[in-house]
Amino acid sequence: MTAHERLQRQLIDALRRAMAGGNPIVPEAGRLLWRFFVEMSAARSYHMGGPNPISWVEIQAWARVRRWPVSDTHISILRAMDDAWLEYAARKAKQSGKGGKDEPTRVKAEMTPTAFDGMFKR
């Protein structure tokens, strides 16, 4: 397990602990990512079925405003945290009988330069 994978696991564990009402133990190496996720999640948009995932545009805007260079590793950790948060929100909505969809929807395919270019060619 790499250091980034370990950090991701620690942050997701801290997030799950916080969502369960406990005191999260955020590792020192993940404090900026934690702050980023908390701020982004607080500004999250919602639709009729519940919360939307944090979008690429929102990540880019946050990084630009905060003047923080976001790497691929940061993004993958943040998206994993967002997946955990969305799973929790869907479970909670299902238990309370509120909300629509059982599972959050997110495209799992990776964006490649070729796929990106293909989206905008005429």
Helix (H, G, I), strand (E, B) or coil at 32: helix
pLDDT confidence bin for 119, thresholds 50/70/90 = low
pLDDT confidence bin for 122, thresholds 50/70/90 = low
Residue 14: predicted pLDDT: 95
Q: Which residue has the tokens 């943040």?
A: 78
pLDDT confidence bin for 99, thresholds 50/70/90 = low
User: What percent of the chain clears pLDDT 70, i.e. is strictly above it?
Assistant: 81
Choice among 36-40, 100-104, 114-118 with the minimum mean pLDDT: 100-104
pTM above 0.95, yes or no: no
The model's pLDDT over 40-85, given as tens digits with 9 standing for 90+, comes to 999 899 988 889 999 988 998 989 998 988 899 999 999 999 999 9
Instruction: Give, to the nearest 10 degrees, the angle between helix 56-66 and helix 31-42.
Output: 120
Through-space distance between the first and last CA atoms of the chain, rounded to whole angstroms: 43
Domain that holds residue 60: 3-120
The model's pLDDT over 3-15, given as tens digits with 9 standing for 90+, comes to 999 999 999 999 9
Cβ atoms of 36 and 62 closer than 8 Å: yes
Number of domains in the chain: 1
